[in-house]
Structure 1
């Protein structure tokens, strides 16, 4: 019967029955509860009356006690209880009267009590007043009358009678309350089980008829959600909703099975078609593309063999040629090409329709493997069409049947393959046409040039013909006269010819003699240059060891030398540096004479030049106790355009000479403008002066005014000679004005802007003045006559070809609080674009066109951000980035890389904040500049810590925390992904051991998020990593730190790098931690380096230096030993290769190393003392990765090692 009722009806009947039962029980419980509450209220009322009676009695007692104390002592403090009782007695009586208003007996007793209380209070008041007015004796007499005691006894009797009646009422009401409680308890005890039984019965009935069937449907739905579509519900004849739901659900399962199968087939089709499309992108070779198609298509459709025919033409007839095969074995009786209609392949191409063979005969074809062979069951021949034309045909053989899905896939794939094959054909045709077009263009250009030359010759011949006709007419008239004169001159001409022949022979002999002398001069110059270069090597090699070891001793990193020994070491280092300067002077002179000195033309800021010279010579002047002043004319432009290094070399030489020869007075440098195109630098001193006869020779090499062995002043005599030659290269001249005992003035005249593109430079005269005049003011110096002359510098000056013109930037107008952006970019056009865009974003912008200039500007201006190009001419961007990130003053500056290289991960690992690959769109540049501005304005950086150990996470927060970092810690990978998607973080510290997923999986999911691609990730883990795991992490994370004793310092250092924190702003303990850590470089520590050098002093010096950075050093004394060392120690990470070695030099050794496959990518840094032009190119051509000269600049060596070891 219940199966025919609706679910709502069943639930309604059950609910109505339950409600009726519950209402009956509720009414009974309500009545019992009300009775119990009323009884309890009355009982509580009785307790209140008893409490008030007790309180009334207590107040009377207090009043009597206070009265007696006062009578006995006379002290007012004893009246306080009395006065308090007097105030509340009437109030208590009224309260009792209110509470007993429903009891007539108690009201009657109160009527009797009130007069007694009034009388008793009056008696007590009278006694108190007697004590106050007449004293103790009078009050005692009043007390002894016994009137008060009688009143008190009557009051106590009435109060006790009232208590007795209330206690009787209390007993009666308590018994009644207990009876009501028992009745209420009984009604609850019996009604609850009865109601529970009824509910259980109703619930059982509903569960059996509703819940159980619904549970079956729910279980079935869960299985369907898990993908199991094979389930179904048993048929039911129920007429209620359950029956309808069961039948509907079964029908839905059937429909869902059909829909799922259709969707899976469509997804399979789309995904595989997309995979083939993606796979074929970028393919340019037809044969490799066909092989790739077959190798992926055959397994996908279950084929065991396949061939690919491509349409070609023979004698203008279309032919399908075999191009590629899959598991195909060529047979003699089978053709490799088919014409249209020939065989199944040709027939399919002719009909442009698919051909499917089923139940192939056993002797038709066999598919073979190493274990045996068998005939296929089905063969399909599929034409590849594009715009109705056959491009190719694919034939596949399978042991099984091709499903309908496979056939649909093949049809759709053939359309895509048709487009792909047509694209390849078009590209090949386009390439061929382009090559033909280029050839035709070149041929046409050649023909045009030849035609033009022919036309020009014809025009010249026509003109000459016209002139000849005129001359012929004229000459005919004079011919007769000339013939006569010719006869006379013929004899004279014969005599002259003999004389000319004799002189020609003399000229030829002189020419040959000059050529021989020129060859001897060139050979002599060559020998001299080679000698100086070799001497440079021989001098620099021991000097390299001396400088490195002296620097190590002077640093005293082990603190095991006395102060005197450290001073000696510094003296050795200083003397070695002076010796190096002397060697460089000799080389400079050799380069100038051999015409190999190059100029590096750039913008020179006169204020910076003045500051540099001031810092260099201020201490010299202080030590000699003489004055030193620099005066710069206000009319001067802020900048000039010349070679900054060579200009400073000249001025330092002049100033050094001035200080050397001046014992009293002072030295002055004056910078002023001679005219609109010339600037002068006048160095004046009050020294010994130069005699007139010596003023010429001091400019010659190795010459001095006093050249005797007992001379007072030392020196080589090269300074002024080099200065004069450099002045000429710079487009200027040096003039001298001097008198003995009155001082000297050397004036350097330079053009305001050195020309680059013209081989001839107009400059003031290069000849030094021989005038001898005493000059005391700048006005007299400026009156020297300018004698312009043209100087050909083409054979000696190699101006760098791509140096851009001056780019005016904002360095002169920077104010405190400005946002400063430094652009290091050698492309002047692109630098101008960046400059303009940065100014639009509100930046004050500085441009450096060279790497070293960029490093100097970064240290000088401390910009808020840097945009850096990688491919720079003198020092690449990787080295610049390394230098910036290893100096405390610039380490925090965010660097944004712009490069054509696809090496984003490496840039981020080295500490760059972003990496853009050229060419860059204006939108991308605008976005980067906006990000820079946002990064600068955001003072607090956000750090995410993913660590499942709360103690570890808290310790990391305390280690890194400061006012400039906001740290957030999460314990699972899911939490990390969630917070990364909803918040911005500048860096993440990750432990690999997470409870819900591995650290590898978390990093891979993060890298799938476009917004999180640039997030720096620091792996901080205690897990021992395998080589494969470490390699995998190197490609995903920026830094890997294994937890050990020194790991907290490294973690603090790496987070400071990627959060761009200013080290100077850190607390002192943390700053000291970083300073101690930087004494050992983690990039260099435990790396193995091979030094190949024939000089043991160099090996010892470099080994001592590199081992202080915990590097493992191996060495070899020649190239052959170096190769053997590499072969026996293939784990070597980098090589320092000396160039000049016996037996096998560095060039030959490097080439031999590069010929071995395993060392093709091994970093090799060439190390040479030869500093002549072309050395670096020879090293790179031989296979060196980079190049450094002796004596080794240790900072540059460390940067090169870090850059190449990062790779």
Structure 2
């Protein structure tokens, strides 16, 4: 049998939702088909409802999910909004704080501007005060030096006793006056040095400084002082110390001079030592300029020492370890302050260690050279092949001092000094002359000089018998007429009659002594000198001469007479105009010039000086004071230079002003030369002679 198959589509709104397939083993009747067709509509509606419901459920789920997400997003937005609100509040607070800070900054800027303006005003006031201080110091220097000038000149003239009418005690008084005046001058110079350092006006003159010359200077300067106090004195150098330094020689000497002077002053017994050695890096103070080797100058003494609390205070101006009014040791307390400042200017540092009652050690650390220093030509050149280390001080053999050199290669000249006591004043003067001569290189070929100091005629006779001498220095004031008997013995020996004798006397000689010396001076080379400075110069002159007879004596034959000072006869009869408002200076300067046979004219200010000059055509030179009333020396000099007939007239500015720029100002006004008060008599005459004789 065949079955029947009916396929009925489920259609809803013209959309087929599905197909129903029915199969029957019997044929479907029409009633069946109608029923099925009607049933399909119901099935379609139901099926569409089911699909719609399913879709509705899906959409509901999606809606619920989206609603959840929306709620979550809403919550997040609320949180963010709250954070934003807090941020806005914080920003508002910060903005308000910034406004407040801006107001504070503006107020502080105003205060800073006011403070800056005040600082500028104070800086101007300080600069003006510094200028006033410098001018005050310069003017006070003038006011102090003006009376000091006449005091020193007249004391020097009295001490030289040219007319031989003063007693030995009076000459001693004059020397004490000169010494006290020199101490006062040193105080003035210290105050000016301190002012220059504070104002940054201290000039440095770097040069190559041989340490050998420096050691000789220290030996010659401080050996007599330590010997006088009975102190041991040593100057030593360690291995590796360089031959020379590049520094300011005069300033370095000033520091060492101050340190050693203090060491001697504050040491009653024991020793003073200067030790020069390479400085270790770990000991260098922070202020020392590095970049090269550094030398340590250590000045050690066994004196009173310094308390720990005073180690820094002593470097302050006008400060001393003992500041009480009844202190034992004098002084102004300026030396160490100036020395520390100079050490800093030289690129070094000055430090101290000390124990009360045991002594002190002052150490000057100094660079061997400085890049910002311009080296000057060496004043002494070490021989080729010389080792880099500096040898120790010149050797001393008994009473003899041998100047540096090579005896095998150069001639040796011997100087004999005869005194009453070991290492007396004349030996010290001779050592100074020999040291200076060795430092300067002598005149021409370098020569070794051997200095032998003996006590009394017997030792002198033994020395003269043992070896030849180039020159003899004799103390005429030895007791019991020993000096005259010794001179007579020398005169009786043919071999010794040609040896020059420089005889020094410090007292007024009796008539018979003068007669004997005069008779000896006619027969042999002999000079009588009462000035130690002149004695030192004559020693250097005799030792520099090729032959003993090459030195022209101060006086000859019949014209021999004891003279304290060499008179420059070339100045005799020349006319000098002295322009100065201080009567004491006029008197003192006139005394110096008239002693050399010069005619002196006076004027009390620049205007009268010009009038006096015009009225006296014979004036050959003018000594012009700078600070005078009505018309000062600068103006007067410039006015004189405007007159054609005086374009070449020598005008020497004589002033007590010693501040930076004074020399340049004097020369710029037309002065030929410059002399600072207090005037040294010998230096003044040398300056006058230079312009009158060489002009």
- Whether 1:1148 aligns to 2:632 is no
The corresponding residue for 1:238 is none
What does the per-residue CA deviation read over 1:719-777, in whole Å, with 9 as the maximum and x for residues that have no partner?
Answer: 111111111111111111111111111111111113325xxxxxxxxxxxxxxxxxxxx
Q: How does 1:1094-1173 map to 2 (within 5 A)?
A: 1094-1173=581-660
2-structure distance, mates of 1:1067, 1:648: 33
- Whether 1:862 aligns to 2:442 is yes
What does the per-residue CA deviation read over 1:113-132, in whole Å, with 9 as the maximum and x for residues that have no partner?
Answer: xxxxxxxxxxxxxxxxxxxx
**Superposed displacement of residue 1195, structure 1:** 3.1
- Whether 1:648 aligns to 2:253 is yes
Of the three residues 490, 503, 511, the one matched with 2:108 is: 503
The corresponding residue for 1:735 is 351
Larger radius of gyration: 1
The corresponding residue for 2:427 is none
The corresponding residue for 1:721 is 337
The corresponding residue for 1:1079 is 566
The corresponding residue for 1:1030 is none
2-structure distance, mates of 1:1063, 1:1129: 47
The corresponding residue for 1:595 is 200
Of the three residues 168, 181, 191, the one matched with 1:563 is: 168
2-structure distance, mates of 1:704, 1:1075: 52
Asked if 2 retains the 8 angstrom alpha-carbon contact of 1:1079 and 1:1109, the reply is no
Q: How does 1:1046-1057 map to 2 (within 5 A)?
A: none
Secondary structure at 1:1133 match in 2: strand
Asked if 2 retains the 8 angstrom alpha-carbon contact of 1:1092 and 1:1136, the reply is yes
Asked if 1 retains the 8 angstrom alpha-carbon contact of 2:246 and 2:375, the reply is no
2-structure distance, mates of 1:1064, 1:575: 38
Do the aligned partners of residues 632 and 865 (structure 1) sit closer, same or farther apart at CA in structure 2, a change above 3 Å counting? closer
Of the three residues 661, 676, 694, the one matched with 1:1189 is: 676
2-structure distance, mates of 1:585, 1:1075: 43
**Superposed displacement of residue 672, structure 1:** 0.7
Q: How does 1:59-74 map to 2 (within 5 A)?
A: none
Asked if 2 retains the 8 angstrom alpha-carbon contact of 1:819 and 1:863, the reply is no
- Whether 1:709 aligns to 2:325 is yes
2-structure distance, mates of 1:1131, 1:865: 44
Asked if 2 retains the 8 angstrom alpha-carbon contact of 1:1063 and 1:1071, the reply is no
The corresponding residue for 1:227 is none
**Superposed displacement of residue 541, structure 1:** 0.9
Of the three residues 114, 137, 154, the one matched with 1:549 is: 154
2-structure distance, mates of 1:532, 1:1089: 31
Identify which of structures 1 and 2 has the higher relative contact order when contacts are C-alpha pairs closer than 8 Å and 6+ apart: 2
- Whether 1:1090 aligns to 2:662 is no
The corresponding residue for 1:804 is 376
Do the aligned partners of residues 629 and 1142 (structure 1) sit closer, same or farther apart at CA in structure 2, a change above 3 Å counting? same
**Superposed displacement of residue 1168, structure 1:** 0.7
2-structure distance, mates of 1:531, 1:720: 23
Asked if 2 retains the 8 angstrom alpha-carbon contact of 1:1165 and 1:1186, the reply is yes
Secondary structure at 1:599 match in 2: coil
**Superposed displacement of residue 1146, structure 1:** 0.4
1-structure distance, mates of 2:552, 2:347: 53
The corresponding residue for 1:1178 is 665
Of the three residues 116, 122, 134, the one matched with 1:529 is: 134
Do the aligned partners of residues 1124 and 735 (structure 1) sit closer, same or farther apart at CA in structure 2, a change above 3 Å counting? same
The corresponding residue for 1:514 is 119
Q: Alignment RMSD, CA only?
A: 3.2
What does the per-residue CA deviation read over 1:1044-1100, in whole Å, with 9 as the maximum and x for residues that have no partner?
Answer: xxxxxxxxxxxxx9xx98683259989736987993323311110000001111111
The corresponding residue for 1:574 is 179
Secondary structure at 1:604 match in 2: strand
2-structure distance, mates of 1:632, 1:1151: 54
Do the aligned partners of residues 705 and 604 (structure 1) sit closer, same or farther apart at CA in structure 2, a change above 3 Å counting? same
Secondary structure at 1:1083 match in 2: helix
1-structure distance, mates of 2:293, 2:551: 54
1-structure distance, mates of 2:553, 2:678: 37
1-structure distance, mates of 2:445, 2:646: 38
1-structure distance, mates of 2:316, 2:441: 42
Q: TM-score, normalised by structure 2?
A: 0.61
**Superposed displacement of residue 861, structure 1:** 2.8
- Whether 1:585 aligns to 2:157 is no
Of the three residues 549, 554, 575, the one matched with 1:1065 is: 549
Asked if 2 retains the 8 angstrom alpha-carbon contact of 1:1118 and 1:1141, the reply is yes
**Superposed displacement of residue 701, structure 1:** 0.5
Asked if 2 retains the 8 angstrom alpha-carbon contact of 1:551 and 1:570, the reply is yes
2-structure distance, mates of 1:858, 1:735: 32
Do the aligned partners of residues 646 and 1075 (structure 1) sit closer, same or farther apart at CA in structure 2, a change above 3 Å counting? farther
Asked if 2 retains the 8 angstrom alpha-carbon contact of 1:544 and 1:1192, the reply is yes
1-structure distance, mates of 2:613, 2:620: 10
1-structure distance, mates of 2:634, 2:334: 33
Secondary structure at 2:569 match in 1: coil
**Superposed displacement of residue 807, structure 1:** 7.6
What does the per-residue CA deviation read over 1:857-888, in whole Å, with 9 as the maximum and x for residues that have no partner?
Answer: 6884323279xxxxxxxxxxxxxxxxxxxxx9
Greater mean deviation of Cα atoms: 661-670 or 1194-1203: 1194-1203
Do the aligned partners of residues 689 and 1195 (structure 1) sit closer, same or farther apart at CA in structure 2, a change above 3 Å counting? same
The corresponding residue for 2:501 is none
What does the per-residue CA deviation read over 1:806-855, in whole Å, with 9 as the maximum and x for residues that have no partner?
Answer: 587257895458699xxxxxxxxxxxxxxxxxxxxxxxxxxxxxxxxxx9
Do the aligned partners of residues 1200 and 1075 (structure 1) sit closer, same or farther apart at CA in structure 2, a change above 3 Å counting? farther
Q: How does 1:971-1050 map to 2 (within 5 A)?
A: none
More helix by share: 1
1-structure distance, mates of 2:205, 2:409: 31
1-structure distance, mates of 2:608, 2:362: 55
- Whether 1:689 aligns to 2:261 is no
**Superposed displacement of residue 642, structure 1:** 0.8
Asked if 1 retains the 8 angstrom alpha-carbon contact of 2:213 and 2:439, the reply is no
Secondary structure at 1:511 match in 2: helix
Do the aligned partners of residues 702 and 1198 (structure 1) sit closer, same or farther apart at CA in structure 2, a change above 3 Å counting? same
Of the three residues 101, 123, 145, the one matched with 1:540 is: 145
2-structure distance, mates of 1:628, 1:858: 22
What does the per-residue CA deviation read over 1:477-508, in whole Å, with 9 as the maximum and x for residues that have no partner?
Answer: xxxxxxx99x9887776554433322211111
Q: TM-score, normalised by structure 1?
A: 0.36
Asked if 2 retains the 8 angstrom alpha-carbon contact of 1:601 and 1:754, the reply is no
1-structure distance, mates of 2:551, 2:278: 51
- Whether 1:625 aligns to 2:226 is no
2-structure distance, mates of 1:1162, 1:856: 35
**Superposed displacement of residue 1200, structure 1:** 2.1
**Superposed displacement of residue 1166, structure 1:** 0.6
Of the three residues 749, 757, 775, the one matched with 2:365 is: 749
Asked if 2 retains the 8 angstrom alpha-carbon contact of 1:1138 and 1:1168, the reply is yes
Secondary structure at 2:571 match in 1: coil
2-structure distance, mates of 1:1186, 1:645: 22
What does the per-residue CA deviation read over 1:942-977, in whole Å, with 9 as the maximum and x for residues that have no partner?
Answer: xxxxxxxxxxxxxxxxxxxx9xxxxxxxxxxxxxxx
Q: How many residues align?
A: 456
Asked if 2 retains the 8 angstrom alpha-carbon contact of 1:1088 and 1:1133, the reply is yes
Structure 1 outlier segments of 4+, above 6 Å: 487-492, 817-820, 1067-1071, 1074-1078
**Superposed displacement of residue 548, structure 1:** 1.1
Asked if 1 retains the 8 angstrom alpha-carbon contact of 2:545 and 2:551, the reply is no
**Superposed displacement of residue 667, structure 1:** 1.1
Asked if 2 retains the 8 angstrom alpha-carbon contact of 1:641 and 1:806, the reply is no
